[in-house]
Structure 1
Amino acid sequence: MSAPISNPTPSSDDIVDTTPLLSSNGSHDDISHNQGRRSVRRQSLREAARFLRQASSRRLMREPSMMVRETAAEQLEERQSDWAYSKPVVVLDLVWNLAFVGVALAVLFLSTNEHPETPLRLWIVGYAIQCLLHMVCVCVEYRRRRRRRVSSFSTIEEGNLSPGSARGESEQYVTLAQFEEDGTSAAKYLESANTMFSFLWWIIGFYWISAGGQTLARVSPQLYWLCIIFLGFDVFFVVFCVALACIIGIAVCCCLPCIIAILYAVADQEGASKEDIDRLSKFKFQSIGENEKLSGDTQTSDGGIMTECGTDTPREHFLAQEDAECCICLSAYDDGVELRELPCGHHFHCACVDKWLHLNATCPLCKI
Structure 2
Amino acid sequence: MEAAASSPSPEQPLLAPPQSAAGAGAGPGSQPSTPPPPAAARPSRLAALIGRAAGRRGPSMLVRETAALQLDRRRADWAHSRPVVALDVAWNVAFAAAAAAVLAASTAESPAKPLRLWLVGYALQCVVHVSLVCSGTRRRPAAPARGPDIESGAANSSESDEGDDEEAMEERASSTDRCESVNTMVSFLWWIIGFYWVITGGDLLEQGAPRLYWLTVVFLAFDVFFAVFCVVVACFIGVALCCCLPCVVAILYALVGQEGASDADIGVLPRYKYSDPSENGEKGTDEGVMIPILNNSGTATSERILLREDAECCICLSSYEDGVELSALPCNHHFHSTCITKWLRMHANCPLCKYNILKGSEN
Q: One fold, TM greater than 0.5?
A: yes
Q: 1:172 to 1:280 in 2, by over 3 A?
A: same
1:70 to partner: Cα distance? 1.9
Q: Quick one: distance in 2 between partners of 1:125 and 1:45?
A: 34
Q: Is the 8 A contact 1:64 1:327 kept in 2?
A: yes
Q: What is the TM-score when the length of structure 2 is the normalising length?
A: 0.83
1:217 to partner: Cα distance? 0.5
- Indicate yes or no: 2:81 matched with 1:86: yes
Could you tell which deviates more after superposition, 99-108 or 211-220?
99-108
Q: Quick one: distance in 1 between partners of 2:290 and 2:247?
A: 26
- Indicate yes or no: 2:263 matched with 1:268: no
1:160 to partner: Cα distance? 3.0
Mapping for residues 92-107 of structure 1, pairs under 5 Å: 92-107=87-102
1:256 to partner: Cα distance? 0.6
Cα offsets for 1:153-209 (capped at 9, x unmatched): 2xx13x535444243034313431343145435533432221121122112212222
Tell me the equivalent position of 2:319: 332
Tell me the equivalent position of 1:222: 211
Tell me the equivalent position of 2:360: none
2:182 to 187, 190, 193: 193
Mapping for residues 160-179 of structure 1, pairs under 5 Å: 160-179=149-168
Tell me the equivalent position of 2:237: 248
Letter matched to residue 278 of structure 1: G
Q: Runs of 5+ in structure 1 lacking a partner?
A: 17-31, 295-299
Tell me the equivalent position of 2:48: 47
Q: 1:252 to 1:13 in 2, by over 3 A?
A: closer
Q: 1:222 to 1:2 in 2, by over 3 A?
A: same
- Indicate yes or no: 2:298 matched with 1:309: no
Q: 1:84 to 1:10 in 2, by over 3 A?
A: farther
Q: 1:13 to 1:367 in 2, by over 3 A?
A: closer
1:332 to partner: Cα distance? 2.2
Q: Is the 8 A contact 2:5 2:306 kept in 1?
A: no
Structure number having the greater helix percentage: 1
Cα offsets for 1:49-77 (capped at 9, x unmatched): 134316xxx6xxx3322222222222222
SS in 2 for 1:285: strand
1:119 to 97, 114, 128: 114
Q: What is the TM-score when the length of structure 1 is the normalising length?
A: 0.82
Q: 1:236 to 1:338 in 2, by over 3 A?
A: same
1:238 to 218, 221, 227: 227
Q: Runs of 5+ in structure 2 lacking a partner?
A: 8-25, 356-363
Letter matched to residue 62 of structure 2: M
Percent of aligned pairs with the same residue?
Answer: 48
1:254 to partner: Cα distance? 0.3
Could you tell which deviates more after superposition, 208-217 or 244-253?
208-217
RMSD: 2.5
1:278 to partner: Cα distance? 1.6
